Amino acid sequence: MESIPRPGFGVWLIAPDATESAVAGALATGYRHVDTAAAYGNEPAVGRAVRAFGGDVHVTTKYFNPGDDHGYDDARAAFEESFDRLGLDRIDLYLVHWPVRAGGGFVESWRALADLRDDPRLGSIGVSNFSRAHLNAVVDATGVTPAVNQIELHPYFQQAELRREHAERGVATVAWGPLGQGDQHDERVLDDPVLAEIAAAHGRSVAQVVLRWHLQLGTIPIPKAADPDHMRANLDVFDFELTGADMDAIAALDRGTRYGPDPDTHDFPGSYGGRPVGRA
Ligand code: NAD
């Protein structure tokens, strides 16, 4: 797999009619990696912004597979639809979005992606929200290891065991919700006093410290920011370094708190981020 630019720019819950200008702003700011998904409903807008930019941009999208009809044929058809909606020469990375439903249908979705590997319209294939058991299931069934697993990962949910598993298997870790999803939750990573102290010591914001922590951990964070100041700040994380003591202090913040759904138990009955489930 070609290396994936870090940080990437996530576009979940950016409304379709606001996405084109947000992505255009991100690309003008210097991002070279955009993370979208069929389920976000904004692939056409991402494609328009990337086409207008014209430069080399890594684009990830995802097969949304909670519907009853997901599986091999559905995944193949969904790839064609995402490809058409994006309107780009290729999709750099295509992921199985969630390991649902119970019963293992995601293995057939993975088999479909594995069979797409030689398609010149596709760079690499991977998964998202997979546990160790889910990874075992797809690798055992197909012999094909996902290039990446995109998982929830932030200082309050650090996923050390799964990161170790990834390192052993050569799977890159992409971190979603890398900032703890901003102000969407009561216990906010961005309000953490230990992180505030580290940020003050480096003359940086807490968000910058958290993104720097991701880089030093070896993950690929994909923060979302509609605010241009946040967009810029989130890229400006290459000219300072957290100390060993900073890294240890952040490691101690792990609470095992998942903000998103648990992939072992959740199968998206009804909707995803307000959008109906089933193919976008
Ligand atoms: P995030 O951790 O990126 O947090 C985004 C929030 O943080 C926004 O509300 C934003 O206003 C705020 N923020 C951003 N930069 C800031 C800064 N510098 N200072 C203060 N606040 C700041 O959470 P997310 O959007 O859920 O995750 C990022 C991306 O990950 C998504 O956009 C999407 O592309 C992807 N994602 C994937 C999955 C999956 O199942 N694979 C699930 C959720 C998200």
pLDDT at 242: 98
Contact 42, 11 (CB under 8 A): yes
Q: Which atom of ligand 1 is least distant from the CA of 225?
A: 14
The pLDDT > 90 percentage for the chain reads 82
Kindly give the distance from the C-alpha atom of residue 73 to the centroid of ligand 1, in angstroms, as a whole number: 31
pTM strictly above 0.85: yes
Q: Domain residue spans in the chain?
A: 9-276
For ligand 1, is residue 82 a contact (CB within 6 Å)?
A: no
Strand partners for 10: 35
Segment 106-152, tens digit of pLDDT: 999 999 999 999 999 999 999 999 999 999 999 999 999 999 999 99
Nearest to residue 22, comparing CAs of 224, 269, 204, 205?
224
Q: Give the pLDDT of residue 276.
A: 66
Q: How many other CB atoms are there within 10 angstroms of residue 136's CB atom?
A: 13
Specify whether domain 9-276 bears CATH 3.20.20.100: yes
Contact at 8 Å (CB) between 199 and 209? yes
Dump pLDDT digits (tens) for 38-82: 999 999 999 999 999 999 999 999 998 776 667 899 999 999 999
Distance, CA of 207 to CA of 4 (rounded, Å): 21
151 Cβ below 6 A of ligand 1: no
Residue 102 has pLDDT above 60, yes or no: no
For the CA of 224, the closest atom of ligand 1 is 3
- Binned at pLDDT 50, 70 and 90, residue 182 comes out as confident
Q: Tell me if residue 40 is catalytic.
A: yes
CB of 100 within 8 A of CB of 266?
Answer: yes
pLDDT > 70: percent of the chain = 94
What are phi and psi for residue 92, nearest 5 degrees? Answer: -70, -35
Residue 271 above 90 pLDDT? no
Relative to the CA of 223, which ligand 1 atom is closest? Answer: 3
